């Protein structure tokens, strides 16, 4: 779904809800993972990182991957329903947000 004041793509932590999601899989080291955790606010209420099983498209292999989720309370306002693919162009990048 697309939600929040910055029109961000979000995966909600709601088991059994939503769509299968298309995405990209990257291999990162611990230092990069820590930077991603900070970007995704892991450790703050409603911000989660879990390892989930993901299936490749080209090769039907299963991989364990860190995935970021938000609680529904952080997904306000909601701009779309559940999406399988993020194609929304309204996202406001951090360097474009100004002070607020």
Listed in order, strand segments (DSSP E) in the chain are: 2-3, 8-9, 47-55, 62-70
Separation CA 8–CA 79 (nearest Å):
9
Residue 100 has pLDDT above 90, yes or no: no
Residue 91 has pLDDT above 80, yes or no: yes
Residue 12 has pLDDT above 80, yes or no: yes
- What is the SS3 assignment for 35? helix
Residue 48 has pLDDT above 90, yes or no: yes
The CA–CA distances, whole Å, from 1 to 8, 33, 66 equal: 8, 23, 19
Separation CA 89–CA 96 (nearest Å):
14
Residue 20 has pLDDT above 80, yes or no: yes
Q: What is the pLDDT of residue 92?
A: 93
Domains of the chain by residue range: 2-75
């Amino acid at each position: 779904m697309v939600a929040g004041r910055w029109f961000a793509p979000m995966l909600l932590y709601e088991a059994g809800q939503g769509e299968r999601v298309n995405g990209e899989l990257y291999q990162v080291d611990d230092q990069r993972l820590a930077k991603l955790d900070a970007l995704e606010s892991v450790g703050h209420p409603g911000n989660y990182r879990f390892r989930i099983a993901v299936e490749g498209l080209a090769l039907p292999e299963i991989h364990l991957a860190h995935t970021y989720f938000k609680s529904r309370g952080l997904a306000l306002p909601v701009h779309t329903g559940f999406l399988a693919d993020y194609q929304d162009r309204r996202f406001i990048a951090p360097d474009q947000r100004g002070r607020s």
